[in-house]
């Protein structure tokens, strides 16, 4: 009796997801066309030849198997890109931080509807800026919040907290005024690593005016950095330790770090400044453009105080694939359950921000869930993907996309500034990845 039971158990385990590995499978075994995937190689090589990008790692996976993992071009001057090269994934940190929050939610330690002030008292009695008509004696007034900022607002970027860099993206007088307070208070976007703790920054940020009433706007900003500190307060652990033990370790993301270990420094990819017309230069210092401050060289620090929930993680294509595959598997990977199926469904639902579209990476048609933008309909400028595809990006031109319907993951990692220039390339990669489906 015992033997059949054991056999049955073994069969059950075999029937579920087979362990994920970085071994590539023949694309046809997962319903992908080798010839069509080759088009991605051609596209990347063409961009390298034209000196639009120095190099890239691309990864296409389907049904839990990697069908395409390729490194091309340079990782640094005189150093070839490798599939295990390390990248500053910047805002692709945000889905990781959001996952960490959802772990605490699943442990019953917080509710998404909780006001942030329940855990960080500085968020009590926040004010919202309102500009006064031109010609008024004073340009603005501060009015009380109609309701407190909640954890849900932070996850969905509906808190009214901005990025300083947004003055360059969507300039207006109100935004400029809020950001001027941020500047006074020494708030930074976290793309450079300041010499302070995230808690110090968040406590100051909490006392500054919001750009809009909580829930009444979609503004991409420092909300997820606040979540990073919230994780410290609720869990009692340092943010990076919590992520390590609750996400990186269970998912065997062995090359994902907030600060890179010394022995991996040689694998860190350089950042390149590209005019997208053939002029490509390795970035040697900070990149300052108005309120946008990027410090790619800060990634070479092997230790530091600042742990940005919105920007600090360094990772590889394979590690991020493992993270994405956990989502595609509805919360588990290699028999380890990280999130419940219901939580993944909650995170990828499109009705969190009913009134607002996530219009940063695309135009309309995308909604923001709890850590990702999710394609809701076709009334947008992207040519590929299905309803329900979710994705996000990083400021040094890194992207990922998860298609639950087709069970595909598409990853593109480069280190190219400025950010917006790669959008066309990414759209083509997702179009080629999608059109490689051959079943």
Site residues, other proteins (CB under 8 A):
115, 124-125, 138, 141-142, 147-148, 180-181, 183-187, 195-196, 203-205, 207-209
For residue 94, what are its two tokens?
Answer: 């945000």
CB of 285 to other proteins, least distance (A): 10
CB of 147 to other proteins, least distance (A): 8
54 in Cβ contact with 48 (< 8 Å): yes
CB of 233 to other proteins, least distance (A): 16
Choice between 69 and 145, CB closer to other proteins? 145
Choice between 179 and 429, CB closer to other proteins? 179
Choice between 148 and 345, CB closer to other proteins? 148
5 in helix, strand or coil? helix
Choice between 7 and 132, CB closer to other proteins? 132
CB of 140 to other proteins, least distance (A): 8
Those residues whose C-beta lies under 8 Å from the C-beta of residue 68, and which sit 6 or more positions away, are: 24, 27, 32, 37, 40, 58, 59, 60, 61
260 in helix, strand or coil? coil
In angstroms, the CA 224 to CA 338 distance is 20
CB of 207 to other proteins, least distance (A): 5
CB of 308 to other proteins, least distance (A): 17
Q: Are strands 373-375 and 366-368 parallel, antiparallel or unpaired?
A: antiparallel
Distance of CA 174 to the CA centre of its chain: 27
Cα-Cα end-to-end distance for the chain: 41
Choice between 96 and 178, CB closer to other proteins? 178
| Sheet (strand 280-282) strand order | 280-282, 272-274, 416-417
Those residues whose C-beta lies under 8 Å from the C-beta of residue 230, and which sit 6 or more positions away, are: 101, 110, 116, 119, 120, 151, 154
CB of 117 to other proteins, least distance (A): 9
CB of 142 to other proteins, least distance (A): 7
Choice between 8 and 185, CB closer to other proteins? 185
User: If 0-12 CB within 10 Å is exposed, 13-18 middle and 19+ buried, where does residue 40 land?
Assistant: buried
Burial 210-233 (b: 16+ CB within 10 A, else e): bbbbbbbbbbbbbbbbbbbbbbbe
DSSP, residue by residue, 380-419: SS--S--TT-EEEEETTTEEEEEETTTTEEEEEE--EESG
Choice between 174 and 380, CB closer to other proteins? 174
Choice between 286 and 420, CB closer to other proteins? 286
CB of 258 to other proteins, least distance (A): 20
Choice between 110 and 402, CB closer to other proteins? 110
In angstroms, the CA 169 to CA 217 distance is 16
């Amino acid at each position: 009796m015992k033997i059949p039971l054991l056999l049955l158990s073994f069969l059950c385990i075999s029937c579920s997801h087979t362990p994920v590995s970085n071994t590539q499978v023949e694309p046809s075994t997962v319903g992908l066309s080798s010839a069509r995937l080759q088009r991605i190689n051609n596209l990347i090589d063409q961009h390298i030849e034209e000196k639009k990008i120095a190099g890239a790692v691309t990864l296409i996976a389907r049904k839990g198997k990697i069908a395409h993992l390729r490194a091309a071009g340079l990782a640094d001057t005189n150093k070839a890109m490798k599939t295990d090269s390390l990248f500053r994934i910047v805002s692709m940190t945000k889905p990781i931080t959001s996952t960490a929050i959802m772990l605490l939610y699943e442990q019953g330690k917080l509710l998404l509807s909780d006001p942030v002030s329940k855990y960080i008292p500085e968020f009590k009695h926040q004010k919202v800026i309102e500009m006064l008509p031109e010609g008024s004696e004073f340009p603005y007034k501060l009015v009380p919040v109609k309701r407190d900022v909640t954890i849900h607002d932070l996850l969905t970027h509906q808190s009214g907290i901005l990025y300083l860099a947004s003055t360059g993206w969507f300039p207006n007088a109100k935004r400029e005024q809020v950001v001027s307070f941020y500047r006074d208070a020494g708030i930074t976007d976290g793309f450079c690593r300041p010499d302070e703790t995230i808690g110090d920054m968040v406590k100051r940020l909490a006392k500054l005016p919001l750009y809009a009433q909580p829930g009444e706007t979609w503004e991409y900003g420092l909300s997820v950095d606040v979540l990073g500190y919230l994780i410290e307060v609720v869990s009692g652990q340092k943010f990076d330790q919590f992520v390590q033990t609750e996400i990186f370790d269970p998912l065997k993301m062995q090359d994902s770090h907030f600060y890179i270990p010394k022995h991996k420094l040689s694998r860190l990819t350089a950042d390149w400044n590209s005019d997208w017309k053939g002029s490509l230069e390795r970035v040697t210092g900070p990149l300052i453009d108005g309120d946008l401050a990027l410090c790619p060289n800060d990634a070479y620090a092997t230790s530091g105080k600042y742990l940005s929930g919105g920007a600090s993680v360094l990772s590889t294509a394979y590690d991020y694939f493992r993270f994405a595959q956990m989502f595609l598997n509805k919360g588990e990977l290699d028999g380890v359950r990280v999130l419940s199926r219901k939580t993944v469904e909650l995170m990828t639902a499109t009705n969190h921000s009913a009134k607002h579209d996530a219009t940063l990476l695309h135009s309309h048609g995308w909604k923001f869930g709890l850590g990702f933008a999710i394609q809701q309909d076709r009334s947008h400028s992207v040519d590929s993907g299905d309803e329900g595809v979710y994705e996000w990006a990083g400021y040094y031109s890194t992207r990922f996309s998860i298609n639950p319907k087709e069970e595909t993951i598409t990853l593109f990692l480069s280190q190219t500034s400025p950010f917006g220039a790669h959008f066309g390339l990414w759209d083509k990669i997702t179009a080629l990845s999608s059109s490689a489906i051959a079943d």
